[in-house]
Amino acid sequence: MKPFGYLRAATVEEAARALAEHPDARCLGGGTNLVDLMKLGVERPGLLVEVNRLPLDTVEELPDGSLRVGATVRNSDLAAHPLVRDRYPALSQALLAGASGQLRNAATTGGNLLQRTRCPYFQDVSKPCNKRTPGSGCGARVGTHRDHAVLGHSDHCIATHPSDMAVALAALDARVELHGTEGARSVPAAEFHRLPGDHPERDTEIRPGELVTGVVLPAATASLPSAYRKARDRASYAFALASVAAVLNLSDEGTVARVGLAFGALAHRPWRATRAEEALRGGPATPDAFAHAVDLELRAARPLRDNGYKVELARGLALDVLTRLAGPTRT
Amino acid sequence: MDSSPHDHGADGTGGAPPAAHRSEVTLSVNGKPHTLLIDHRRVLLDLLREDLDLTGAKKGCDHGQCGACTVLVDGRRVNSCLQLAVSLDGREVLTVEGLADGDRLHPLQRAFLDRDAFQCGYCTPGQLCSAVGVLAEAAAGHPSHVTGPAAPPGRPVALDAAEIRERLSGNLCRCGAYPHIVEAVRDVAP
Ligand SMILES: Cc1cc2nc3c(=O)[nH]c(=O)nc-3n(C[C@H](O)[C@H](O)[C@H](O)COP(=O)(O)OP(=O)(O)OC[C@H]3O[C@@H](n4cnc5c(N)ncnc54)[C@H](O)[C@@H]3O)c2cc1C
Ligand code: SF4
Ligand code: FES
Ligand code: FES
C-alpha cells in the first residue's frame, strides 16, 4: 500500500476544501470498501479525509415529514431505526440483505453509495479494465461475466453497481445531498449513479471536491407499503444476482395510485423501471398487469453470453414483490 | 450550512500537514490504554497481532470476507482487517483475549467448550467476538434479514436458530462447526 496523509476533518467545509485541493484525496467512511481496494492496489490515494467525526451521524425527521439520514450513519443503525422500519421497510430490508453484521456496523450511508463495483477484473490490477484504467479494455466482456449487467451497459463496461441500499433509495424517490467548495446541492438517488457510456471510470454524478453529506427520504406514513427482495448464490453474506425494491400504494378502488420500482445488480446503476411504472399508474393492480408492465421494462435487456438468467430472475422477483405489496398489506 | 462553525481543532491531526504518513493515536485495548505512533497504512488486525502481541484475532482473508479477524470497537463487532488503526483514535477495542474475567471464562467461551463448537479453532476468536456483538445487537432491538416485520422496533429480538445463523453469517468456518456454534450461542442467548 502506498503511504498517504490523513486528515480527520472537523467540518464539512474543511473536508470539501481538502478534497478540492488534493485531487488524489479520498473520503474515508467505514473503510470496508476503500481499505480493501487500497490493499489490492486499485485505489492509491495520497490523502484520506476521514468523515466519521463530521456532525453527519444522525437520522432526523424534518418539519415536512421527510427523513434526513446523515452520510456517516452506519448501515446497521439505519436498518434498525424505528422510523425507517416503520415508514421505509424496503430500505431497512435492503440494508439487512447486504454484507454481514460486522460490515454493516462499520459501513456508512455515504460509503455504501460510493462503493465500487465487485467486477473481479476491476479488482485485479493485472487485468484490463476500462473503469480502473481507461482505454485498457474490458476483461469481463470476453471473460467471466455471469454477474454482470443486462441493462444499460456499453462497449466499454458491463459492470453492475453492488449496493442493495441504493436500489431501495431509488425506488423510494430519495435524494442524495452533496457538498463541495461551491456549496450544497442534491440529486435524485435514481440519477446519482451513471450508466457507463464512454466514461466507465465515473460511477456517479459526484463532482471533484464534493462529498456526500446525507440522503433525504420523502415524507411517508407507516402505511406506505414497500419491500425489497434479493436473489443471491447463498442465503446470506453474498452480493445480489438480481434484486427488486418496490413501493406500491393503491387507491380506494384498488387501482395503482403510486408505484416505484427499481432493479438491483442488473446495471451500472440502480435501474429505475420508469416504463413499467408508467404502464401501471392508474391501472389495475393485478398479476396480469404487473407481468405486462415488467415485461415492457425488461424488453430493453441485452444479456451477454453468460448472464441471460438474470432477466428471468429479475422478472420473477418483481412479480413476487408487486403481488405481495398489492395483497394483504393493502390499506 | 449543515455543519458546526470553525470552533474545532482541539484534538486529532486536523492541523497536521497532510503529507505526514504517521500519526499519534490513543486507543484502549482490553481496558489498557496505548498511545502509539502509527503508520497510516496499519490496519487494526496487524496492530493487534504484530505490535501488541495479541494474536487471538486471526487473519483469514484480509478482505472482510471471512470474519476471523472480528473484534469489538466501542462494543460493536467489526472486521479488524478493514479498520485503519489511525481512524480509531479515542476508541475502545475488545479482543478475544479480553473476554474472560481473569480465570472466569465468558459465558460464550464456556458454551463453546461445552458444545464442542470448534475443530481447528481458527475461526473461534472471531466467532466469539461476533457472538458477543450479536447478543448486544439483539438486546438493543436490531433486526436481521430473517426478523419478521411484526417484530416491534426497539424491542429485544429473540434469538432462535435461524436468527443466530443469519446474524453470524459473516463468520465462516472451514471445519463446518456451524451446528454446534449455533447451539452454543443459543445456550447463552436470553
Ligand atoms: C465481503 C463483503 C460483502 C459485501 N456484501 C455486500 C452486499 O451484499 N450488499 C451491499 O450492498 N454491499 C455489500 N458489501 C459492501 C459494503 O456495503 C460496502 O463496503 C460499504 O457499504 C461501504 O461503506 P463504507 O462506509 O465502509 O465506505 P468506505 O470504504 O469508507 O468508502 C467507499 C467509497 O466511498 C467514498 N466515500 C465514503 N464516504 C463518502 C462521503 N461521505 N462522500 C463521498 N465519498 C465517500 C470513499 O472515498 C470510497 O471511495 C460487502 C462488502 C464486503 C467486504
Ligand atoms: S465490466 Fe467494467 S469494471 Fe469490469 S472489467 Fe469491464 S470495464 Fe472493468
Ligand atoms: S481476515 Fe478480516 S474478514 Fe477475513
Ligand atoms: S473450527 Fe476450524 S475454521 Fe472453524
Domain extents for chain B?
Answer: 22-98, 107-188
B103-122 confidence digits (pLDDT tens): 999 999 999 999 999 999 99
- Provide the terminal-to-terminal Cα distance of chain B, rounded to the nearest Å: 46
- Using an 8 Å CB-CB cutoff, list chain B residues near A9: 14
Ligand nearest to the CA of A215: 1
Its pTM stands at 0.96
What's the average model confidence in pLDDT over B20-37?
A: 97
Cα(A137)–Cα(A156) distance, integer angstroms: 7
Would the pLDDT of B72 be above 80?
Answer: yes
C-alpha distances out from residue A183 to A57, A177, A178, A180, B1, Å = 20, 11, 8, 5, 9
For residue B174, give the nearest of B119, B133, B125, B117 by alpha carbon: B119
| Model ipTM value | 0.96
Of A4, A52, A184, the CB nearest to B21: A4
CATH 3.10.580.10 fits B22-98, yes or no: no
Cα(B186)–Cα(B190) distance, integer angstroms: 8
Instruction: Say whether B8 and A11 touch across the interface (CB within 8 A).
Output: yes
B107-188 CATH fold: DNA polymerase; domain 1 (1.10.150)
Cell 423501471 belongs to A273
Grid cell, residue A95, equals: 440494508
Would the pLDDT of B4 be above 90?
Answer: no
HSE-CB for B131 with a 13 A CA cutoff: 32
Model pLDDT, residue A267: 98
- Using an 8 Å CB-CB cutoff, list chain B residues near A25: 18
Instruction: Say whether B169 and A236 touch across the interface (CB within 8 A).
Output: yes
Cα(A198)–Cα(B166) distance, integer angstroms: 40
User: May I ask the CATH class of domain A225-326?
Assistant: alpha beta
What's the average model confidence in pLDDT over B5-28?
A: 61
Model pLDDT, residue A224: 87
Per-residue DSSP letters for B69-122? TEEEETTEEEEGGG-BGGGGTT-EEE-GGGTSBTTB--HHHHHHHHTT--SS-S
- The residue with greater pLDDT, A163 or B154, is A163
Cα(A115)–Cα(A193) distance, integer angstroms: 11
Would the pLDDT of B10 be above 50?
Answer: no
Q: Are A30 and A111 in contact (CB under 8 A)?
A: yes
Would the pLDDT of A44 be above 90?
Answer: yes
Instruction: Say whether A52 and B87 touch across the interface (CB within 8 A).
Output: yes
Q: Which atom of ligand 4 is nearest to the CA of B175?
A: 2
Provide the percentage of residues in chain A whose pLDDT is more than 70.
99
Model pLDDT, residue B153: 85
What's the CA-to-centroid distance between A233 and ligand 3, angstroms?
20
Instruction: Say whether A105 and B86 touch across the interface (CB within 8 A).
Output: no
A245-296 confidence digits (pLDDT tens): 999 999 999 999 999 999 999 999 999 999 999 999 999 999 999 999 999 9
Confidence of residue A221 (pLDDT cuts 50, 70, 90): confident
What's the average model confidence in pLDDT over A92-103?
A: 98
Ligand nearest to the CA of A209: 1
Residue A106, ligand 1, Cβ within 6 A: yes
Model pLDDT, residue A328: 60
Q: What is the DSSP letter of B135?
A: H
Would the pLDDT of B8 be above 70?
Answer: no
Cell 466501542 belongs to B74
Model pLDDT, residue B17: 44
B76-92 confidence digits (pLDDT tens): 999 999 999 999 999 99
CA angle B132, B133, B136 (to 5 degrees): 90
Would the pLDDT of A98 be above 50?
Answer: yes
Number of Cβ within a 10 Å radius of residue B11: 12
Cα(A85)–Cα(A1) distance, integer angstroms: 40
Grid cell, residue A248, equals: 406500491
Q: Are A261 and A225 in contact (CB under 8 A)?
A: no
